[in-house]
Amino acid sequence: MSVKIQLLKKSFLIVSLITVIASAFLFPSMLFADDETTTTEIKSEINFDVTYPEIKAKAGSQFSFAADLNFIGAEETIFNLTAEAPEGWYVSIQPSYEQTEISAVKMVPGKKESLKFVAIPLTKQEPGDYIIKIKAASDTLQAETELKAVITATYELAFTPAGGRYDTKATTGKDNHFAVQLKNTGSASIEKITLSSSGPDGWKIKYNPDEIDKIDAGKTKDIDVTIFPPDKTIAGDYMVTLNVTSENSSPKMELRVTVQTPTIWGWVGIGIIVIVIIGVGIIFAKLGRR
């Protein structure tokens, strides 16, 4: 009986040893097989990396955005590039290194492609935010990013003579009229506009109107300036400064005013000269008789 038990024990030991040896060969191969499966499975991915997704500029400017298109995948893939922009805008998609417009790009796995997107307003755009959507798509992958073009308002008034000349003539003791124009050449309305002046002492300068509530962008306001030199003003050239004041723009105009004496005083002067000449003639005549 004891001999059988010993035989059974030896058999069990032999079987256990064989199992251990087999496991030593089998399990590593299974582990390596799992590693091979893991390394061959690559998850494909495409995405945009935008450095400056929001750009501000004045009306009429172009907006140029830079971005990298990154691709992870198993093989080269062609991606179609499209842009969706607001009405009145055009978007040019270009490589970052040249001014060539493209609509697709071939991506190498693990590499990036540097791109630029030039947004051009084709029509006049009001100040505000404009969203531009860029998309890169293949048959199986897609990436999308948003760019923001911010148009800032410009405020500018042009103050000019209606006739184009920065000089005028004026008669002393009278209201002399001079026409000027105030034009809003900016992109937004300008409000609370007042007009003032500076000139020689005793001069009166008035505007009609002297206050303007608002001038919309692109609009022009006609203004009449009344210049009154005092009666005793000596004939000659004088400088007058016309000023415009608002919160956003305050132009001014330098105006040369040539002062003339009234016509009646001219005749008076001629009369005095004639009287003097006659008087001198009479004196010489009397002296000649003596």
Q: What is the pLDDT of residue 6?
A: 59
CATH of domain 45-152: 2.60.40.10
Of the listed ranges 23-32, 176-185, 247-256, the least confidently predicted one is 23-32
Q: Which CATH superfamily is domain 157-263 in?
A: Immunoglobulins (2.60.40.10)
Q: How confident is the model at residue 278 (pLDDT cuts 50, 70, 90)?
A: confident
Give me the mean pLDDT over the 85-89 stretch: 96
Instruction: Work out the pLDDT band at 77, boundaries 50, 70, 90.
Output: very high
pLDDT recorded at residue 12: 56
Nearby residues of 56 by Cβ (< 8 Å), 6 or more positions away: 150, 151, 152
Domain ranges of the chain: 45-152, 157-263
Instruction: Check for a shared fold between 45-152 and 157-263.
Output: yes
Q: What is the pTM of this model?
A: 0.60
Identify the pLDDT of residue 35: 46
Identify the residue whose tokens are 């997107």: 117
Helix H or strand E segment including 32: helix 2-40
Predicted local confidence at residue 32, as pLDDT: 44
Amino acid 103: pLDDT: 96
